[in-house]
Amino acid sequence: MSKILIIAEHRSGKLNSSTAKCVTAARAMQAQAIDIAVFSSDPAAVAAQAAKLDGVSRVLSLDHPANDPALAATLAPQVVALAAGYTHVLAPSTTFGKDLLPRVAALLGESMASDLMKVIDAYTFERPIYAGNAITTVQAAADRKLIASVRLASFAATGEQSGSAPIEAVKLDVPLPTHTRFIELQAGAQDRPDLQSAARVVSGGRALGSAEAFSIIYALADKLGAAVGASRAAVDAGYVASDLQVGQTGKIIAPGLYIAIGISGAIQHLTGIKDAGTIVAINKDGEAPIFEVADIGLVGDLFKLVPELTAALD
Amino acid sequence: MKILVAYKRVIDYNVRVQVKPDGSGVMTEGVKLSANPFDDIALEEALRLREKGIASEVIVVTIAPADAQAHLRNGLAMGANRAIHVVSEQAVAPLTAARVLLKLIETEQPGLVLLGKQAIDDDASQTGPMLAALWDRPQATFASKVEVSASSARVTREIDAGLEILEVDLPAVVTVDLRLNEPRFIKLPDIMKAKSKPMQTIAIDTLAIDASNHHTTTRFAPPAQRQKGVLVKDVPELVAALKARGLL
Ligand SMILES: Cc1cc2nc3c(=O)[nH]c(=O)nc-3n(C[C@H](O)[C@H](O)[C@H](O)COP(=O)(O)OP(=O)(O)OC[C@H]3O[C@@H](n4cnc5c(N)ncnc54)[C@H](O)[C@@H]3O)c2cc1C
Ligand SMILES: Nc1ncnc2c1ncn2[C@@H]1O[C@H](COP(=O)(O)O)[C@@H](O)[C@H]1O
């Protein structure tokens, strides 16, 4: 039987939905207990949200001024101390989890599994390699701790329970490093749906040609209540911020509807959208690889078609 | 200050990787191998720091089979001062790679270690933070800007929430993201010059590290394919198709 520790991801007092997806993965691991650890300088609100998640046994609240903002170097020794009583340690495969978990695994002397996409049993799972061109089945040693990051596009968020799991304050006595200092966060725009959890996403590519032209993408997204994404080429060219990049090295997403506009469909981009419900592509090149994966394709000039589509949604 | 750059050889990013029919691995026969794209960026950054007078020496390191010398020669042709080839006929997992790099660090005493944020073969994104943990030093992952001073570095990180700026004491581990820089092209004379640059070869067994891997890959499978969809001829048809799927 597994005892699973999940490291909560949160920001500004809000639990990230990535945590609820980790709970879903944990529930498939013959879990006897699923505990969520909330590291914060003010964990109460986030702990209360975590305690509502269906399937959670306990929430551990780790209140420390050094826990905000979360730095891998500061959290890792604390997670290691907590991990003693657990068979598994999970975190989301977001930049938060990717930064933290390998540091934890190395301190524990354990191998780590990145981007767990399917749980077969407590120590057997699938994960993608080569930008998702191959899916591997991995057997982890059952006498070791399994440290794994959970691929968000592969798991639905667990629901809420009617009651609430107990919340326990935990005090750890571990020395924390001072060699790493947070200076600032230049946050991306927050007035739009979040790319990683949105039900609909509209993405633009290099074809947009400028930051100004991207306004037609925003206009369509607004009509649909959609988040905005972009190809690497569009980000590199400076049309949008880097946190909008979708793909192998950006965000891996699974919205119900994904609309790719002026995006060719390079393998690295497709890796990020493989789990989308319906993919729509608008591209002037009928031979573009994006049409190989699109459920609905429309060939033509985006500068004409996108405003027309936006208008048609009135 | 010395800079160590972890420089992995992987299947070239343009190759469409295919799984062997018997599920025992991916096809590697005759497939083009190149430096991991992120590692070229790491090397470029190290070279720029040397050109600015901040670094004195740039060392490229790979852990790879004996035939990877040409790969390291590329790194030398790009401008690294010397190369270290840790010879391992088996592919190494991130924890082993981190343990090997730590051994080299103990001898070389670099002020900065640059790695790719991920290797595009295993897509693990683990080696940098693992190394930082074993070395008990700071890490700054997913760097899109690196400013190095005498005793610290200011690193801009591309994270899900935006851009985060950290200050880390040196020595430190930095893993690089795509937008940090654009790697230079290798010129013909540099290829000639690289032939005489020092390359040290170390058999992995002589490093006396724990190379155990607690995870075994038992099967490789091709990903589920999406069905090819339909083409619509205009916007009204697109809207109708979306409505038919209950998406509007
Ligand atoms: C290591 C590595 C990692 C990478 N990671 C990512 C990643 O995470 N995400 C990512 O997206 N990419 C990634 N890439 C880059 C990827 O290989 C492609 O270069 C990139 O996705 C191309 O972006 P694009 O489709 O916008 O541009 P292009 O490939 O230039 O495509 C533009 C498309 O727009 C169409 N078009 C042009 N004008 C019009 C018009 N008026 N109307 C309609 N259509 C038009 C063209 O027909 C073309 O298909 C990575 C590459 C590497 C090497
Ligand atoms: N065998 C290796 N040889 C050299 N560098 C490596 C090796 N394995 C990993 N690295 C470095 O670690 C980074 C991240 O790799 P990974 O953790 O496998 O995604 C790579 O971009 C390299 O910089």
Q: Does the C-beta of A271 come closer than 6 Å to ligand 1? A: no
**Chain A, window 111-130: residues with a beta carbon less than 8 angstroms from a chain B beta carbon:** 111-115, 128-130
What local confidence, expressed as pLDDT, does residue A104 receive? 98
* Residue B193 structure tokens: 């010059």
**For chain A, which residues score pLDDT lower than 70?**
none
In the block, which residue shows the tokens 């724990």?
B210
What local confidence, expressed as pLDDT, does residue A307 receive? 98
Taking residues B205-209, report their average pLDDT: 97
Taking residues B55-60, report their average pLDDT: 98
Contact B94 A112 (CB under 8 A): yes
- Rounded Cα distance between A265 and B155, Å, is 31
Which pLDDT band holds residue B207 (cuts at 50, 70, 90)?
very high
The DSSP annotation for A63-113 comes to E-GGGSS--HHHHHHHHHHHHTT-SEEEEESSHHHHHHHHHHHHHHT--EE
3-state secondary structure A21-65: HHHHHHHCCCEEEEEEEEEECCCHHHHHHHHCECCCCEEEEEECH
What local confidence, expressed as pLDDT, does residue A200 receive? 98
* B114 secondary structure, DSSP code: E
Interface size A-B, in CB pairs within 8 Å, comes to 251
The CA distances from residue B234 to A34, A55, A221, A297, B16, in Å, are 50, 47, 19, 10, 32
With CA atoms as reference, the chain A residue closest to B163 would be A186
Are A256 and A273 in contact, with CB atoms under 8 Å apart?
A: no
Give yes or no for B246 touching A (CB within 8 A).
no
Choose among B108, B122, B22: nearest CA to B61. Answer: B108
- Rounded Cα distance between A263 and A286, Å, is 12
Taking residues B70-96, report their average pLDDT: 97
Which H or E run contains B240? helix B235-244
Bridge partners of B92, per DSSP, are none
* Residue in B126, B165, B226 closest to A184 by CB: B165
What local confidence, expressed as pLDDT, does residue A299 receive? 98
Which H or E run contains B46? helix B37-51
What local confidence, expressed as pLDDT, does residue B66 receive? 97
| Pairing status of strand A112-116 against strand B9-11 | unpaired
pLDDT in tens, B222-248: 999 888 899 999 999 999 999 999 999
Q: Does the C-beta of B120 come closer than 6 Å to ligand 1? A: yes
Packing angle of the helix pair A302-312, B235-244 (nearest 10 deg): 50
* pTM reported for the whole predicted model: 0.97
The DSSP annotation for A215-236 comes to HHHHHHHHHHT-EEEE-HHHHH
What local confidence, expressed as pLDDT, does residue A190 receive? 79
What local confidence, expressed as pLDDT, does residue A189 receive? 78
How far away, in angstroms, is A231 Cα from ligand 1 center? 6
Within 10 angstroms of residue A28's Cβ, the number of other Cβ atoms is 15
What local confidence, expressed as pLDDT, does residue B227 receive? 85
Helices (H), B52-202: 69-78, 94-108, 127-135, 188-194
Which pLDDT band holds residue B42 (cuts at 50, 70, 90)?
very high
Are A58 and A35 in contact, with CB atoms under 8 Å apart?
A: yes
- Rounded Cα distance between A163 and A157, Å, is 17
What local confidence, expressed as pLDDT, does residue B226 receive? 87
In the block, which residue shows the tokens 């001024």?
A65
- How many residues are listed for chain B in this entry? 248
